């Protein structure tokens, strides 16, 4: 063992290392593989292999530059189960419209009907009476109404 020959004193050990350096072993990772769509890779993972033109053609184009705005809620008070009409601008298309929420309802799913770019009809959820806000989420962002009064059943 070479370390034994060089271990008499610290000084002779250092001289010995300079004259007879320890062999350094380099280890390399295993060779990679060729994966369709990714080319050469070290990981055996599938990569994106391109796009499907049929999917792209069906994908709606949502205009994210137009922020939605709620102008009015009619009526401005209603009981749970009744319908209200939300009027505004830049609600987008049916495919780009994401939903309606009442602040008093938390994460509850709200039933709504998309009429057009300026009108949504929503059903007031079963929540305790009091003030609430109505939020809409469209392709260009979200908008909040003025306070809305939920009446007792």
Domains of the chain, residue spans:
2-50, 69-150
CATH class name, domain 69-150: mainly beta
pLDDT at 27: 46
pLDDT on residue 2: 46
Classified as helix, coil or strand, 104 is helix
Q: What's the CA gap between 130 and 77, in Å, rounded? A: 10
Coil, helix or strand for 122? strand
> How far is the C-alpha of 132 from the C-alpha of 109, rounded, in Å?
15
10-residue block means of pLDDT along the chain (153 residues)?
52 61 51 53 52 63 88 96 96 92 93 96 96 94 95 93
Q: Tell me the C-alpha to C-alpha distance, in Å, between residue 65 and each of 35, 60, 88, 128.
A: 39, 15, 16, 36
DSSP 3-69: HHHT-SSHHHHHHHHHHSPPP-----PPP-EEETTTEEESS---------HHHHHHS----TTS--E
């Amino acid at each position: 063992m070479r370390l034994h020959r060089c271990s008499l004193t610290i000084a002779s050990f250092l001289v010995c290392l300079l004259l007879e350096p320890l062999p350094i072993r380099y280890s390399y990772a295993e060779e990679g593989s060729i994966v369709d769509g990714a080319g050469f890779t070290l990981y055996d993972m599938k990569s994106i292999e391109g796009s499907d033109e049929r999917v792209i053609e069906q994908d709606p184009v949502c205009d994210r530059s137009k922020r939605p705005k709620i102008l009015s809620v009619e009526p401005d008070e209603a009981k749970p189960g009744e319908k209200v009409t939300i009027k505004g601008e830049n609600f987008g298309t049916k495919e780009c419209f994401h939903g309606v929420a009442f602040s008093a309802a938390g994460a509850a799913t709200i039933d709504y009907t998309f009429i057009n770019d300026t009108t949504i009809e929503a059903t007031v959820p079963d929540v305790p009476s009091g003030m609430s806000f109505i939020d809409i989420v469209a392709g260009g962002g979200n908008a909040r109404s003025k306070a809305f009064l939920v009446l007792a059943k």
